[in-house]
Structure 1
Amino acid sequence: MALQFEINAVTPFRQNCTLLWDDESGEAVLTDVGGDVPFLLQSVADKNLKLKEIWLTHGHLDHAGGVVEFLKHCDVAVLGPHEGDDFLLQSLPETTAQYGFPVSPVPQTRWLNEGEQLAVGRYVFDVLHIPGHTPGHVVFYCSEAGLLIAGDVLFYETIGRTDFPRGNHADLIHNIREKLLTLPEETRVIAGHGRMTTIGHEKRHNPFLQA
């Protein structure tokens, strides 16, 4: 038995919404429900999983814009991001309207802070606060499974943008170096967009992270 995951690229932004589940218990969570809700609901149903929570890495529309619709069909807790992204979640009606799909502000069950732990079945994930792309960005790291849900912090050979409101390039680089590059090199990284990578690969090949 093991922790399983399925990466689903949703919305026109091709944002990676990850379905995580524990084989043994059938317990599951979804990270960053940006949209394409019927597809995500069907994926959960096809695997006969017990979805317990939605975890959000940050408040941008392609990561959180589908939450309100999802909750109309499935009553689950919404955890994250850090409270620093409240301004983004509150502004979702305006930002999503610009793209033609207005949504309500995301109802928050609980903000997340550095040092908290979340679980999927028997697998425990540490919450790390990684501001820079957004002030309230968090990531989820499971040491037992060697897996990091990185949102828009770290990508294959690049990093998250910092030209959005309240972004900070220096903060992002500092937090990646201090909190992520110190993880085991074999740690698999599910980024918010695009392909997977590993911590070791990024330490050696990411041009933004070289000394």
Structure 2
Amino acid sequence: MKWQQIPLGALQTNCYLVENPDRTCLIFDPGGEGNKLIHLLQDRKLKPIAIILTHAHFDHIGAVNVVREAYKIPVYIHKQEEKWLGDPALNGSQLFMHVEPIRANPADHIIKNEGTMKIGDFEFDVFHTPGHSPGSVSCYFAKDGFVISGDALFQGSIGRTDLPGGNHDQLLKSIHDKLLTLPEETYVLSGHGAVTTIGEEMDSNPFLNGF
């Protein structure tokens, strides 16, 4: 199984494509520039089967409608943020003057519990990792050694907690209990910035001192 990082939109939010050898793929966090993403998928002859959202902030959902309509595929979101997709006040697009209000259509599937999720031939574990936002999730592909962490954990940093529903202590607990327990060689595919590893962040992330 392969993955590809694609920064999209004004904030260069990392969208991830996770693909199987048969060219089917999952799309994580299509944050903007939907047509650019569609052209890339076409060029690589990939066949998306679902969109998974690590959370519903505007910079992670900006291309949801365009991509979903192009491929007629379902969207997954955690239950605590299912109403955020269509509400610019909740998804944050209303809070920034330079951002057009974003109203994505409702998700097709609501993630209610942690555990193993199967979509087509893809299988991964879903962890609820709130703190950056109430419904943030991380998706762990154990066999392939990577976790898509959304905006929970970054290289040398952690997600901001000053937006609605953010909670600094809760975020640190999520990182400690759900992410830092993964094998140290696990690649962390963050919502912004470079790829890192669990071990790197345990050793050098200044926000995690004391863990």
Whether these two folds match at TM > 0.5 is yes
Aligned to 2:108: 109
More deviation, 58-67/102-111: 102-111
**C-alpha distance in 1, partners of 2:9/2:144?**
28
Cα–Cα, structure 1 residues 85 and 110, in superposed 2: closer, same or farther, change >3 Å? Answer: same
Deviates more, 1:86-95 or 1:108-117: 86-95
* CA displacement at 1:124 relative to structure 2: 1.6
Match in the other structure for 1:202: 201
Corresponding residue for 2:17? 19
SS at match of 1:90: coil
In 2, the alpha carbon distance for the partners of 1:118 and 1:92 equals 29
In 1, the alpha carbon distance for the partners of 2:55 and 2:148 equals 12
- Partner deviation per Cα, 1:145-183 (whole Å, 9 max, x = no partner): 001001100000110001111110011001110111000
- Cα RMSD, aligned residues only: 1.8
Q: Is the 8 A contact 1:113 1:129 kept in 2?
A: no
Amino acid in the other structure paired with 1:52 = I
Is 2:166 aligned against 1:167? yes
Match of 1:4 in 2: 2
Contact 1:113–1:128 (CA<8 Å) still a contact in 2?
Answer: no
Give the match's secondary structure for 1:52: strand
5 Å-filtered alignment, 1:15-164, equals 15-23=13-21, 25-80=22-77, 82-92=78-88, 95-96=92-93, 98-119=97-118, 122-164=121-163
Structure 1 residue 105, shift from structure 2 partner: 3.3
Q: Distance in 2 between matches of 1:123 and 1:76?
A: 15
Are the structure 2 counterparts of residues 181 and 100 from structure 1 closer, same or farther at C-alpha, using a change threshold of 3 Å? closer
Aligned pair count? 207
Listed as ranges, the gaps of 5+ residues in structure 1 are none
Tell me how far apart the structure 2 counterparts of residues 208 and 187 of structure 1 sit (CA, whole Å): 19
* Structure 1 residues 64 and 198: CA distance shift in structure 2, 3 A: same
Tell me the secondary structure at the aligned position of residue 53 of structure 1: strand
TM-score by length of 2: 0.91
- Per-residue deviation, 1:123: 4.1
Any gaps of 5 or more consecutive residues in structure 2? none
Instruction: State the alpha-carbon separation in 1 of the partners of residues 171 and 44 from structure 2.
Output: 36
Identity across aligned pairs (percent)? Answer: 36
Give TM-score scaled by structure 1 length: 0.91
